[in-house]
């Protein structure tokens, strides 16, 4: 049976993962699966940095704009759908590309989704009440106390992610992160993991410039159209929350944009913390010639086949 290879491109936001994934897909004649949890939603385009139409046309993409913000869609749902799609693609091709900055979703495809215990409803109710009365600061403080390891890598601006972790902590008396270290499911493909990185000031400069480009491209108008639905889980994300505060009259537009940049930089730092733990990843400078990275993949495949 021929071995199948999942070329997995990881790294912080704005580092160039989309461009590299397209180059690899074209070189190996295969499809791309996006595991960017914000690009799933068809109502969100500019603020999620969905690939441009010419980029989407350059290679076949899956899991972009395939859901609505009104749909319930979990990492477990994504894992099942992604594995089904990969089985379909690998029936006729030895290669596929996985790309995205959502570490939990990457891990779900590569290793399988962790088997978490049932949550005590009273624990959920108690945490919800505290969050409603004390705000996100309560979740941040409580999670840092109960599970500092997970706190270091989770999006601490995402109340749903922190709430989920705290529910498990309170229900079991164990850190949420302990359930991330269980034996994983077996996969019928071999990951070849490619990381893109840069010096921290370079990453931050690329993020700042990307936010400016998003604003010029119409992010303000996109956020305004989504504003009536601001409470939906899908919209609890950087780039939209800050502009919702502006629409509420709480901050100026300039301040909101500066907050988008700051919060995106913080997000990139957490992405790197998460991805640097990835076993067997080969890291490249973001300026590396894609042809050289394709050569690395070919060398890796020859090693595995020899």
Q: Is 32 annotated among the ligand-binding residues?
A: no
Among 113, 97, 101, residue whose Cα is nearest residue 48: 101
* Angstrom distance (rounded) from CA 128 to CA 122: 10
* pTM score of the predicted model: 0.83
Q: Is 16 annotated among the ligand-binding residues?
A: yes
Q: Is 63 exposed, middle or buried (0-12, 13-18, 19+ CB in 10 A)?
A: buried
What's residue 126's pLDDT?
Answer: 83
Domains of the chain, start order? 5-114+182-305 (3.40.50.300), 121-180 (1.10.20.140)
Q: Is 14 annotated among the ligand-binding residues?
A: yes
Q: Is 290 annotated among the ligand-binding residues?
A: no
Q: Is 101 annotated among the ligand-binding residues?
A: no
Q: Is 17 annotated among the ligand-binding residues?
A: yes
In tens, the pLDDT along 121-146 reads 777 778 888 888 888 989 999 999 99
In tens, the pLDDT along 218-263 reads 999 999 999 999 999 899 899 999 999 999 999 999 999 999 999 9
Q: Is 12 annotated among the ligand-binding residues?
A: yes
What's residue 181's pLDDT?
Answer: 59
In tens, the pLDDT along 148-175 reads 989 988 888 888 889 889 988 887 778 8
């Amino acid at each position: 049976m021929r071995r199948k290879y999942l070329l997995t491109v990881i790294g912080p936001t704005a580092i160039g993962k989309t461009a590299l994934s397209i180059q690899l897909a074209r070189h190996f004649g295969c499809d791309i699966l996006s595991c960017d949890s914000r690009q799933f939603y068809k109502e969100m385009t500019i603020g999620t940095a969905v690939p441009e139409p010419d980029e989407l046309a350059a290679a076949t993409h899956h899991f972009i704009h395939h859901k609505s913000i009104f749909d319930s869609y979990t990492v477990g749902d994504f894992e099942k759908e992604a594995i089904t799609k990969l089985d379909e693609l690998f029936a006729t091709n030895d290669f596929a590309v996985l790309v995205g900055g959502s570490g939990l979703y990457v891990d779900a495809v590569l290793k399988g989704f962790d088997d978490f215990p049932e949550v005590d409803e009273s624990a959920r109710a108690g945490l919800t009440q505290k969050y409603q009365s004390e705000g996100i600061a309560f979740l941040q403080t409580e999670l840092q106390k109960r599970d500092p390891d997970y706190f270091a890598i989770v999006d601490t601006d995402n109340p749903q992610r922190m709430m989920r972790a705290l529910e498990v902590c309170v229900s079991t008396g164990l850190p949420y992160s302990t359930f991330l270290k269980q034996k994983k499911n077996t996969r019928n493909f071999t990951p070849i993991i490619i990381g893109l990185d840069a010096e921290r000031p370079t990453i931050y400069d690329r993020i700042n410039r990307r936010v400016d480009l998003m604003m010029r491209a119409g992010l303000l108008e996109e956020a305004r159209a989504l504003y009536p639905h601001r409470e939906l889980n899908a919209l609890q994300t950087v780039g939209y929350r800050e502009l919702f505060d502006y629409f509420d009259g709480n901050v100026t537009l300039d301040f909101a944009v500066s907050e988008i940049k700051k919060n995106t930089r913080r997000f990139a730092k957490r992405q790197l913390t998460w991805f640097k733990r990835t076993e067997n990843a080969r890291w490249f400078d973001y300026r590396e010639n894609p042809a050289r990275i394709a050569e690395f993949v070919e060398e890796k495949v020859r090693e595995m086949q020899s």
